[in-house]
Chains A and B, each alone.
Chain A
Amino acid sequence: MLLPAVLLYTAFIAYPFARSLLLSLYDWPGIGPKTFVGFENYRNVLTGYMSREFFRALGHNARFFVLSWLMSMIPGFLLALALSVGLRGTNILKVVYFIPNTLSIVIVGFLWGLLLNPQWGIVNQTLRAIGLESLTRPWLGSTETALPTIIAVTAWRGMGFYILVFLAAIVGINRNMFEAARIDGASEVQVVTRIIVPQLLPIVSTLTVLKVIWSFNVFDIVFAMTGAQAGPAGSTDVLGTLFYRIAFGGLGSSDVGMGLGATVVTLIFVIVLPVSIFYVFILERRTETR
C-alpha cells in the first residue's frame, strides 16, 4: 500500500532531480544528440557570458526574499495580534483573509496590473485624491519600482497564510504567562514584546525557511505581471524567468538549451538545499517530540 506513493514519487520527483544534475553537464538543444561538456555550462553561467544575467537575477531573488520577509512577517504578525484580541467576527475575518491565497496568480497579476495602471488605476487615483500626487508613478513600468511592486502583490496574496499561522501560535501560548506578567506590573505592550514575540520565534524560523524556498523559486507572479522578459529592462528578472527563457526558448535570451537550463536549476538547488534539509529536520524533530 506504500508502493504507489514511492513509485510515483521516485519516477516523477526524485529521478527527475537526479537527471537534472546529470543534464547540466551536457550541451543539448532539446532534440538530437547530447554533447558532454563537463563543467562548461557552469563556467558560462558563473563567470562566462551568462554571468551578468545570472547574478542580476540572483540579486533580484535575494531582494525578493528580504523585502517579502519584511512585507509578510511584520503585517502578518500585527494582524494576527489584532485578531487574537477576539473581537466579534474573528472567524469570518479568518476566512476572508485567506481568500486571496486561493486565487490564481495569473488572475492576481492581471487584477493588480489594472489597479496599478499609471493613468486610471485606483492606486494612483487614490494618491492624487488625497493630495499625494508626487507619489504617483508607473509602478510596473519603472525599473526602480517594478520589483518591489511585484513583491508587494505577492505579500498581499500570501498574507492570510501568515496571519493564520501566527494567530494559531499566539492562541497557543499559555495564558498563565500573561497573567503572571501583569501581576508583576507588565504593561500590555510589554506582554507583547517580552512574552508573545519570544514565544513566536520558532514559528518565525519555520516561516523564514519557507520564505527562502519560495523566494528562490518565484516564477508565476513575475511572468504574469511583467512577462518572460521580466521587464522593464530586465529589472524584475529572477532565476525562474531566466531559466524559462533559456530552457524553453523565450525570445531575447543570449543562449537556449536544456543543459544550460539544467545548470541554472542545479544552482538554485544548491542555494535552496541546505535550507531545505534544515526545514525537514525541524519538521521531523517537532513530530518526534509530540
Chain B
Amino acid sequence: MLKLKVVQKSVVALLLLLWACINLFPVGIMLVSGFKDTREIFQNPFGLPQSWSLENHLEAWTQANFAGYFTNSVVVTVFSIVSIIFVSSMGAFVIARFRFPGRRLIYLFLISGLALPVRLAIIPIFLIVRDLGIQDTLFSLVVVYTAGGIAFSMFLLTNFFRSIPGDFHDSARIDGAGDFRIYRSIYLPLLRPALATVAVFNFINVWNDFFFPLIFINDESKMTIPLGIQSFFGEYTVRWDLLFSALSISVIPMILFFILLSRQFISGLTEGAIK
C-alpha cells in the first residue's frame, strides 16, 4: 500500500479518528441522554449522566405502546429474514446448479428488482394487499419485505453457489440423495457466510423501514418502531428522557446484530455484491 512518512501517518490517523467521532457522536449523545433526566439533558447535554440507572428505559418501555411496537418489529423482522433466506437460497440453488431452458431469463427477471425500487409500485401493492384483506396486519409487511428482498438475496446467493465446486453435488447424487436433501444438508451449511450478509442487509432494511408501515398500517397496535416512534416525537416533547431511552432501545438490537455478524457481512457485501 502507500508508503507514508511518520508525520503523514499521524495526519491520516487524525483524519480517521475525526471521522469516527463525527460518526459516533449523534448516536453516542442519544445513548447517553437516555440515562439523564430532562433537566440534566438541557443543563449538561454533552457530559456523562449522574447515574447509569435504567429507570428511564423501563419507564419508556411501559409508556404508550412502545413494548408493542418493539414486539411487532421483532416479529416482522424475524419472519421476513427467515422467509427471504428460505425462498432465495432455494431459488439460487436451482439457478446455479441446474440447466434448463429460460434459466438465464428467469434469473435476469428476478434480479431486475435490484434496479427497480419496490416502493415505486406502492399503489398496486397497496391495492393487492387491500384486496387480499390483509391490510393492517403484520403479515402484509412480511410478504412485501420477502418479495422485495428476493432480488438482492438471489443475486448474492447465486454468486456464492456458483463459486462452490459442483463435485459435491454429483457425489451426493450418486449416493442417492434427492435434490432437496442436497440443498439442505450440503449447500446450506457451506453458504453460512453469504447467509450472514443477506441476513444483516435485510435486517437493516426491514427493521428500519418506515415507508410500508406508513402506507399499510393504521392500527396503533400493529405499528412497528419506525412508525410508532413518530408519535413519540410529538407527544413526548416535554419528556426528552423517555424519548431518548426509547430511541436507544430501538437501535440497540440492530447495532448488536450488525456487530455480531460484521466480519462476514463486510466481506460478503464488498466481495459478493459489488466486485
A6 within 8 A of B: yes
Q: Within the complex, which residue of A13, A172, A220 is in contact with B116, where a contact is CB–CB below 8 Å?
A: A13
A79 within 8 A of B: yes
A15 adjacent to B124 (CB under 8 Å) = yes
1/0 contact string of B123-151 vs chain A (CB within 8 Å): 11101100000000000000110111011
Question: With A100-B27, A213-B117, A276-B112 in contact, is A85–B2 under 8 Å at CB?
Answer: yes
B242 within 8 A of A: no
Sorting the interface of chain B by its residue count into under 10, 10 to 19, 20 to 34 or 35 or more gives 35 or more
Assembly CA distance A275 to B93 (angstroms)? 29
B27 adjacent to A99 (CB under 8 Å) = yes
Dominant secondary structure at the B interface: helix
Assembly CA distance A111 to B114 (angstroms)? 30
Residues of A contacting B226 with CB < 8 Å? 104-107
**Interface-centre pick from A82, A101, A161, A206 (highest chain B CB count, 10 A):** A82
A192 within 8 A of B: yes
A103 adjacent to B27 (CB under 8 Å) = yes
Residues of A contacting B109 with CB < 8 Å? 6, 9, 14
B1 adjacent to A86 (CB under 8 Å) = yes
B4 adjacent to A85 (CB under 8 Å) = yes
Residues of B contacting A169 with CB < 8 Å? 274-275
A135 within 8 A of B: no
Q: Within the complex, which residue of A78, A95, A258, A283 is in contact with B111, where a contact is CB–CB below 8 Å?
A: A283
Residues of A contacting B271 with CB < 8 Å? 168
Min CB gap A10→B, angstroms: 8
Residues of B contacting A182 with CB < 8 Å? 3
Q: What is the chain A residue whose CB lies nearest that of B132?
A: A11
B120 adjacent to A20 (CB under 8 Å) = yes
Assembly CA distance A122 to B23 (angstroms)? 15
Question: With A104-B226, A107-B247 in contact, is A164–B266 under 8 Å at CB?
Answer: yes
Q: What is the chain A residue whose CB lies nearest that of B247?
A: A107
B12 adjacent to A12 (CB under 8 Å) = no
Residues of A contacting B30 with CB < 8 Å? 107, 111
A219 within 8 A of B: yes
Question: With A79-B16, A164-B269 in contact, is A247–B123 under 8 Å at CB?
Answer: yes
A262 adjacent to B88 (CB under 8 Å) = no
Chain A, 166-206, CB within 8 A of any chain B CB: 167-172, 175, 178, 182, 188, 191-192, 203, 206
B238 within 8 A of A: no
A51 within 8 A of B: no
Assembly CA distance A237 to B266 (angstroms)? 34
Min CB gap A84→B, angstroms: 5
Residues of A contacting B15 with CB < 8 Å? 78-79, 82
| Among A35-43, A61-69, A142-150, A265-273, the stretch in contact with B | A265-273
| Among B51-59, B62-70, B167-175, B203-211, the stretch in contact with A | B203-211
Assembly CA distance A43 to B188 (angstroms)? 52
A234 within 8 A of B: no
Q: Within the complex, which residue of B20, B128, B162 is in contact with A93, where a contact is CB–CB below 8 Å?
A: B20
Question: With A13-B121, A19-B124, A220-B211 in contact, is A83–B147 under 8 Å at CB?
Answer: no
B90 adjacent to A188 (CB under 8 Å) = no
Residues of B contacting A122 with CB < 8 Å? 45-46
A165 within 8 A of B: yes
Residues of A contacting B251 with CB < 8 Å? 102-104, 107
Assembly CA distance A52 to B195 (angstroms)? 47
B215 within 8 A of A: yes
Q: Within the complex, which residue of B127, B180, B215, B262 is in contact with A95, where a contact is CB–CB below 8 Å?
A: B262
B183 within 8 A of A: yes
Residues of B contacting A78 with CB < 8 Å? 15
Question: With A85-B2, A86-B1, A168-B275 in contact, is A96–B24 under 8 Å at CB?
Answer: yes
Question: With A13-B116, A85-B4 in contact, is A103–B123 under 8 Å at CB?
Answer: no
1/0 contact string of B243-275 vs chain A (CB within 8 Å): 000010011001100110010001001110011
B115 adjacent to A188 (CB under 8 Å) = no
A103 adjacent to B254 (CB under 8 Å) = yes
Assembly CA distance A262 to B106 (angstroms)? 27
Residues of B contacting A217 with CB < 8 Å? 117, 119-120
Cross-chain pairs A/B with CB under 8 angstroms, 20 sampled: A5-B87, A8-B146, A15-B128, A19-B121, A19-B127, A20-B124, A23-B124, A82-B12, A82-B15, A95-B266, A100-B23, A104-B208, A111-B29, A161-B269, A172-B275, A217-B119, A217-B120, A265-B123, A272-B120, A283-B155
Q: Which 3 A-B pairs have the closest CB atoms?
A: A276-B115, A5-B91, A12-B147
